[in-house]
A and B are shown apart, each in its own frame.
Chain A
Amino acid sequence: MHNILLILKQEYLTRVSKKSFIIMTLLGPLLIAAFYGAIAFIAVSELSNNEKLSIAINDKHDVLNHKIDTSKSMSFEFVDDIKAAKQKIETEDLSALLIIENAKGDSISTVSKKSLSFNEKNQLREVLFNQIFNSRLKNSGISKGSIDSMKVDIVFNSSSLSGKNSATETKSIVGYIGAFLIYLFIFMYGVMIMRGVTEEKNSRIIELIISAVKPFELMMGKILGVALVGLTQFIAWIFLTGILLTVIAILFGLQHADASTIASVKAIPQSGALAIMSNFTAQLQSLDFVKIIAGFVIFFFGGFLLYSALFAAIGSAVDSDTETQQFMFPVSMPLIFGLFIAQMAVINNPNSTLAIWASMIPFTSPVVMMVRIPFDVSWTQILMSAVILFCTFIIIVWVAAKIYRIGILSYGQKASYKQIWKWLRMKE
């Protein structure tokens, strides 16, 4: 135990003080923040920088009854002289000219210097539709009020038995991000362990070390040390990202979304991206974070330990990185498959039979269970999956340690499955 701690500490300190680690740790949150900031910037500039569009309408069939509401971002005037209007567009006194071609009002030509954006066209369409619809209602003697009273505005107030509000998209996003991070860290750090083992083997340090400690202690110390490095990086990412995002939020005036901000944001239909972001922030707060974080830690560690034991065994069996390919494939398959199932579960049904089974099978469970946890998976299921995962880990470590013990001292033989099988059956 003393030795495991010693090796753990050594692995941890060496790796954490590496330049590449520090750069990665700082760069990750910066990229996330830059991405988030870019969206926020676009959203806000959409909102404020848009100058008011002044639009001329040529309505020779009088479809609109010469009435149209000006909105916050658009003002309208009716013109008869198309030529004069076009000249005004040329001098940029007008943004665009709409020519309503027929009495039905479904064919409209637009003339503008810069072509209208998708968003602007949509808004125009909405304004025109409302005007035409209302004027026709009026013509047929139906009051707008009676129509409005017939409309039903449906709002889903979904809640699950736990009493928490549920927001499916948010859960999917949170679960998927968690699962993807687990997947990413297992690969990144698993391969790091594998490289480390091969390096120690090739540089022949191994002989010196295992004359002082047991191979099992060395392997466990390495795995746990690197796991802590991963966790450190992860916590640093969360922490730094949190700070950066808060800074960005304050910068763009996106307060922590309470109901009123959401409402006010919703009231401005053109701020699409902004609304989604605020919504997301608000819904995040409704999630069961204790469960999600506990789940993440359990499955991050469990999955990581399980896979890194396998990666360590591979690293010990080969003489160089190029030889690892044949072993990497079968080991990484279940993990990739797990991520695939996780994606399916997010889109379809997080409680489907396939998803439940995959979240119990130890090789896919770290990723799949993580996706499912935000969808109110019972603690019983989580614990059961965790127990299976950790039991499998113990078995795998035992097998991996056997391969490791012999592998690290076998040079020059081309590693093959046959060879490894022979090692497994070798006595102490």
Chain B
Amino acid sequence: MNENLLEVKNVSKFFTDKTALNNISLAVPKGYIFGLLGPNGAGKTTLIRIINQITQADIGSVEINGELLNQKHIRNIGYLPEERGLYKKLKVIKQLEYFAKLRGLGTTDAILKSTEWLKRMELYDVRNKKIEELSKGMQQKVQFIVSVLHSPELLILDEPFSGFDPVNAELLTHEILRLRANGTTILYSTHRMESVEKLCDSMALIHQAEKILDGKVSEIRQQFSIGNYELIVNGNYTPTLEHITILNSEIKDLNYSKLSLSLKNISNNDLIQDVIKQAEVIAFSQSIPSINDIFIKLVTQK
């Protein structure tokens, strides 16, 4: 088990008319990409703002590397806010230098790092252009560079893919994975569930100010998949055991049928044995729900 880079302990935040966060605890292991999921208004942004020290928690605490969050951690955190914003009239390179210095880099380092990242993100040729002269996609890339310039230990990405075309989204994915490989811990807040499966190691789901789920992505999917299987057979199959329920069946081309089954208290082998008496098995697999399914299920349940 990795040691935790970020720990959120029993954090609550109240606004005058509502509770934004209710007793939230999270542990983000070092070097993980941690998905912070939740519908709009769940409290994700408030939690991110607390970690960024933009606002304070009313109850609870946040620790980084086991140390209570303080001013000097600004140097260790990179932040890509959901609402993007840069100085429109400022040149790309000047912009990067300024933000790097605000995060504690010296002038030389700031220039060095800016140049390095501009080259990496294919923006070096436009370094002397003003932000307003760039395309939306380029602006997004500049914004991303701002968040990683100072080589933060913890990178907070709030909807990083919004506004990216597929090519640049691929470039960004690549960079995020490269950063993780270099040891950066990433807190990734999003609604885009398919990217969670692709990127995240762990995740937490926040809904209506409360954490309703957390854990490793693979374990969560496993946990929600209990007893559901997918079977494709050549011919017709009617269960003879009462432990088998057909949830859904559709006739494919030729004589194939695709069945969704749920099993109770019997093994997969029992099912197969029951099937082969009646039809030929073409394919059999455990159906693992997508994070999207889990998300919708949990959020609509509540």
Contact, CB under 8 Å: B85 / A211 = no
Residue of B nearest to A18 (CB): B89
Contact, CB under 8 Å: A207 / B88 = no
Residue of A nearest to B156 (CB): A211
Contact, CB under 8 Å: B98 / A10 = yes
Min Cβ gap B95→A in Å is: 10
Min Cβ gap B194→A in Å is: 27
Inter-chain residue pair count (beta carbon < 8 A): 52
Instruction: Please indicate the chain B residues that have their CB under 8 angstroms from the CB of A207 in the complex.
Output: 54, 79, 81, 83, 85
**Stretch touching chain B among A27-35, A80-88, A117-125, A198-206:** A198-206
Partner of A208, one of B16, B88, B146: B146
* Contact mask for chain A residues 390-426; partner B; CB cutoff 8 A; 1 contact, 0 none: 0000000000000000000100000000000010000
The answer, yes or no, to whether B234 is at the interface (CB within 8 Å) is: no
* Contact mask for chain B residues 146-189; partner A; CB cutoff 8 A; 1 contact, 0 none: 10000000000000000000000000000000000000000000
Contact, CB under 8 Å: A203 / B81 = no
The answer, yes or no, to whether B207 is at the interface (CB within 8 Å) is: no
Instruction: Please indicate the chain A residues that have their CB under 8 angstroms from the CB of B77 in the complex.
Output: 211
Min Cβ gap A239→B in Å is: 27
Residue of A nearest to B150 (CB): A212
**Bound-complex Cα distance A204 to B103 (A):** 18
Contact, CB under 8 Å: B56 / A204 = no
* Contact mask for chain B residues 208-221; partner A; CB cutoff 8 A; 1 contact, 0 none: 00000000000000
The answer, yes or no, to whether A16 is at the interface (CB within 8 Å) is: no
The answer, yes or no, to whether A210 is at the interface (CB within 8 Å) is: yes
**How many A residues have CB within 8 A of the partner chain?**
20
Instruction: Please indicate the chain A residues that have their CB under 8 angstroms from the CB of B85 in the complex.
Output: 200, 203-208
Contact, CB under 8 Å: A213 / B102 = yes
Contact, CB under 8 Å: B52 / A211 = yes
Contact, CB under 8 Å: A203 / B86 = yes
The answer, yes or no, to whether B87 is at the interface (CB within 8 Å) is: yes
Contact, CB under 8 Å: B81 / A204 = yes
Instruction: Please indicate the chain A residues that have their CB under 8 angstroms from the CB of B54 in the complex.
Output: 207, 210-211, 409
Instruction: Please indicate the chain B residues that have their CB under 8 angstroms from the CB of A409 in the complex.
Output: 49, 54-55
Instruction: Please indicate the chain A residues that have their CB under 8 angstroms from the CB of B298 in the complex.
Output: none
Contact, CB under 8 Å: B101 / A6 = yes
Residue of B nearest to A426 (CB): B16
The answer, yes or no, to whether B252 is at the interface (CB within 8 Å) is: no
Contact, CB under 8 Å: B81 / A208 = yes
Contact, CB under 8 Å: B56 / A6 = no
Give 5 A-B contacts (CB < 8 Å), ordered by A residue: A204-B81, A208-B146, A211-B77, A212-B99, A409-B55
Residues of A within 8 A of B (CB): 3, 6-7, 10, 14, 200, 203-213, 409, 422, 428
